[in-house]
Structure 1
Amino acid sequence: MNSINKKEIEKFSKIAEEWWNPNGKFKPLHNFNPIRIGYIKENIIKNFKIKPSDKPLKKINLLDIGCGGGLLSEPMCRLGANVVGIDASAKNIKVAKFHAKKNKLKINYKVASPEKLKTKIKFDVILNMEIVEHVENIDFFIKESSKLLKKNGIMFVATLNKTLKSYAFAIVGAEYILKWLPIGTHNWEKFVKPNDLIKISERNNLSLKKLDGLKFNILNNSWKISNDTSVNYIVKLKKN
């Protein structure tokens, strides 16, 4: 079995140089990043009962799966976490390594997918952010990700709901009308309903602790946490 979808990897490899350009092809992710960072940080602190400090995640071993150019790995490292970032695209990892080195950040980047990662440790936290809609087999991907998580560790999964609204917003709107994303970035068939994701997770020793929607405000160009899960949503799962 394999979780890697070669077409998806080729698609992102072609635009790998754009990762750190806030006005480039990953502009939507740059806009999205502050809300993701805040959400992850707050939930890790709450879950592990961490005392406030400038580097609250300093005892946390964190794995960022599908790390791309390091848009989440770097802030997690700055918060003190011991970060391993993996991506199936060698070009993405090359960009991530170069950027981390330039910013004097110690992040262990590897070209790998969950089933191919050789590691002696299990992780306290795993990030699967905006990745499950790009993998070959979501059941296998979550199963292999879960194996890398410690007992009582937490996993965050952010993705797109499979609704008509998500098709209208994330594909027609974002790709064709507003041109926020390259055409073909998303395949609606790969989107997953929260209930389906929760069932897959439960089959793999992960129980749901939190489900939140992420909503975009077009007027002030910002994201917020919401009860509306009809387009973007994020789940926090705990390893049993």
Structure 2
Amino acid sequence: MAEFRVYTSPSAFPNPQRLRLFCHEKGIADRIEEVIYDMTPGGEQRGWRHLKRNPWGETPTLELPDGTYLAETAGIVRFLDGHCPGRRILGESALEQGQDQMWDDRIWVQILYRLTTAFHVLHEGLGHKLELTRNPQWGEHCRKEAIAHAGLVDRHLADGRDWLLGGPEPTFADITLCTAIAFSKFGPVATPLDERFEGIDRFWQRWKQRPAFRAAYRDGGGIEELASLTAG
């Protein structure tokens, strides 16, 4: 029986996917029951049932055995990384944890969040029921900023390191970068970072070979090159 329940979304949605990929990398996916919402067009995450769990209407939202709810991907991951045994994905030492937080903030704020903003304001995104703002100029600005900051990350990877912190295994910042690359390739986002930057492409190819990645993206993530994982 699962210890936790998470109200979440398919792998095309990057924040829930950060948590899903973390759980597989940590080896705790079997301890968490997933309730996957119909995000579009149903918009279940904005219905009153979910809003009682999380007034912000967000996924993922983790339900603990005592009925407590925990939201915000980074907060959920911090809890699970400390609560569950296994490799510390957020870093073992205080320095590693600080470095992981630094890189995760850079990638989340400057790349992934900008791509998700572009998705929401350039297109109907999740449909008229949920998308209330259209601003093509701001969307294109966000796209350009994401590309520019991805270039800085690519420069950091240019020394041949496998992962952002230079260690033998990925940390949470690497998970965030992985989901950012995946989302950059998704449908209307159409800004594939792996096609623009050599180091980021090597990083993406490395992730695609990991069992955790293949398990987390077993629904294909809405990305054509991952469609074969649905048959796995």
Give the TM-score, by structure 2 length: 0.31
**Structure with the higher strand share, 1 or 2:** 1
**Structure with the higher helix share, 1 or 2:** 2
